[in-house]
Amino acid sequence: MSTHTFGNGHYGPYGGQYVPETLMAALAEVEQAFTTYFPTDAFQRELDYYLTHYVGRPTPLFRADRLSAHVGGPRIYLKREDLAHTGAHKINNTVGQILLAQRMGKRRIIAETGAGQHGVATATVCALTGLECVVYMGVEDMQRQAVNVFKMQLLGTQVRAVSAGAQTLKDAMNEALRDWVTNVRSTHYILGTVGGPHPYPLLVREFQRVIGREAKRQILEAEGRLPDVLVACVGGGSNSIGLFYEFMAERNIRKIGVEAGGLGIASGKHAARFATGRRGVFQGAQSYVLQDGDGQINLTHSVSAGLDYASIGPEHAWLHDQKLVEYTSVDDQEALDAFLLLSRLEGIIPALESAHAVAEVLKHGATYGRDALVIINVSGRGDKDVDQARKFLGTRSGI
């Protein structure tokens, strides 16, 4: 069990509820529903039913022998969230939140999405339950994730294009929050990551903890001991906190969160919040934010739409300051190289987001020690990224 819980919405100086007064009652309603229903046996039984029979959990923990040999050091396992229904970890959270929405009597669901995986997962559970669904998505992201846009539409969801700002995830989240203010009585906002105002960082973490619970049980069955290193990509931070949280009491286990280095930190075109960000308030919470000297939000860049975000979940900010998790970054080219290599070595095409975690192990895995056990969270599959990758990889290696 973890040594920290943060049920009050504050993670040291981070977190909180920085929203218009009109949303405070809605946030209180979500928090009350979560604290009332989530601990009950009935809710947990229903959640477990859908996670097992609909999502396809538990996802496997796969020993990647060829990747391990290539890295030349530790024994590497892959937590296969890419095999969950809809192709990513996002469904763990949307299933949980749709069950809450039903209990709150909501008829309409809204969400934001960057890479499209959270949008698809939200559209999926709305189709499952018959609730109306609207997903906000930046125009830039809609172009690079056209397949996911079509999937959402196929599932009966209205995808609303956001042309403001950089036309990416932060702009989509702004529009979703505006919608919620307008339609708060009938609508539940399924936020996709461990960010935004309380109770979302807590709520989403609790729905994603299933990743770490399974991984702990699976590695003990496979190896008879706990891992030495955990690695996951970090955008808002839900897949990483989902893996890390069950291991937080084990301080000797290294936990490495990998941000998007984009075109390099020096270029300014990246989404590495801990590299050049500083404390600020953004989209409902206080955390590390990429901003200029006047507090204006910087434009971000990443080859992966899901990591292309100017802030990070507040619990990650606290974990960083407490030195409980190490945060690093890899650039676009390193992520693309890892995308290609994992495909060639293990027959697993990862999401470009997940490829950042693989790239970190390719860079530094040999230093972990020859007897080390490593778990990489493959948070999503790369079907959505093949057009994007084809454009960047070009004619390399016979592609």
pLDDT at 128: 98
What's the whole-number mean pLDDT along residues 216-236? Answer: 98
What's the whole-number mean pLDDT along residues 280-292? Answer: 96
Give the domain CATH number at 357: 3.40.50.1100
Closest CA to 86 of 56, 113, 111, 58: 56
What is the share, in percent, of the chain residues with pLDDT greater than 90? 87
For this structure, is 346 an active site residue? no
Q: How confident is the model at residue 399 (pLDDT cuts 50, 70, 90)?
A: low
116 with 67: CB under 8 angstroms?
Answer: no
The answer to whether position 12 is within a domain reads no
82 and 95 together in one domain = no
Q: How confident is the model at residue 108 (pLDDT cuts 50, 70, 90)?
A: very high
Q: How confident is the model at residue 144 (pLDDT cuts 50, 70, 90)?
A: confident
Q: How far is residue 32 CA from its own chain's centroid?
A: 24
237 and 274 together in one domain = yes
191 and 315 together in one domain = no
The answer to whether position 4 is within a domain reads no
Q: Which of 204, 231, 265 is the last residue of a domain?
A: 204
Residue 1 has pLDDT above 50, yes or no: no
Which residue spans within 116-155 are E strands per DSSP? 132-138
294 and 383 together in one domain = yes
pLDDT at 395: 62
| Number of domains observed in the structure of the chain | 2
Q: Which of 173, 204, 235 is the last residue of a domain?
A: 204
For this structure, is 106 an active site residue? no
Give the span between the Cα atoms of 283 and 97, in whole angstroms.
Answer: 20
**Poorest-confidence range of 161-170, 228-237, 314-323, 335-344?**
161-170
The answer to whether position 363 is within a domain reads yes
Residue 179 has pLDDT above 50, yes or no: yes
Q: How confident is the model at residue 3 (pLDDT cuts 50, 70, 90)?
A: very low
169 with 141: CB under 8 angstroms?
Answer: yes
Following CA atoms 129, 134, 139, 140 in sequence, which dihedral angle do they give, to the nearest 10 degrees?
A: -40
Q: Fill in the DSSP letter of residue 52.
A: I
What's the whole-number mean pLDDT along residues 71-93? Answer: 97
Residue 328 has pLDDT above 80, yes or no: yes
Q: How confident is the model at residue 2 (pLDDT cuts 50, 70, 90)?
A: very low
222 and 176 together in one domain = no
107 and 225 together in one domain = no
28 and 135 together in one domain = yes
Of residues 240, 311, 354, 379, which has the active-site annotation? 379
The answer to whether position 19 is within a domain reads no
Q: Supply φ then ψ for residue 271, to 5 degrees.
A: -135, 40
Of residues 31, 79, 106, 112, which has the active-site annotation? 112
Q: How confident is the model at residue 398 (pLDDT cuts 50, 70, 90)?
A: low
Of residues 68, 79, 90, 106, which has the active-site annotation? 90
The answer to whether position 268 is within a domain reads yes
What's the whole-number mean pLDDT along residues 149-158? Answer: 97
What's the whole-number mean pLDDT along residues 208-230? Answer: 98
What's the chain's average pLDDT?
A: 95
The answer to whether position 14 is within a domain reads no
82 and 140 together in one domain = no
168 and 252 together in one domain = no
Give the span between the Cα atoms of 157 and 168, in whole angstroms.
Answer: 19
Parent domain of 31:
24-51+90-204
186 and 327 together in one domain = no
Site of tokens 């937080």? 248
For this structure, is 90 an active site residue? yes
The answer to whether position 148 is within a domain reads yes
Residue 257 has pLDDT above 60, yes or no: yes
What's the whole-number mean pLDDT along residues 248-261? Answer: 98
pLDDT at 305: 85
Q: Which of 204, 224, 241 is the last residue of a domain?
A: 204
Who has greater pLDDT, 385 or 95? 95
192 and 213 together in one domain = no
161 and 249 together in one domain = no
303 with 313: CB under 8 angstroms?
Answer: no
Tokens at 85, concatenated? 């229904």
Residue 397 has pLDDT above 60, yes or no: no
Tokens at 123, concatenated? 């559209």
pLDDT at 18: 96
The answer to whether position 147 is within a domain reads yes
Give the span between the Cα atoms of 217 and 167, in whole angstroms.
Answer: 41
Who has greater pLDDT, 164 or 180? 180
What's the whole-number mean pLDDT along residues 332-339? Answer: 97
What's the whole-number mean pLDDT along residues 194-208? Answer: 97
Segment holding 353, helix H or strand E = helix 352-364
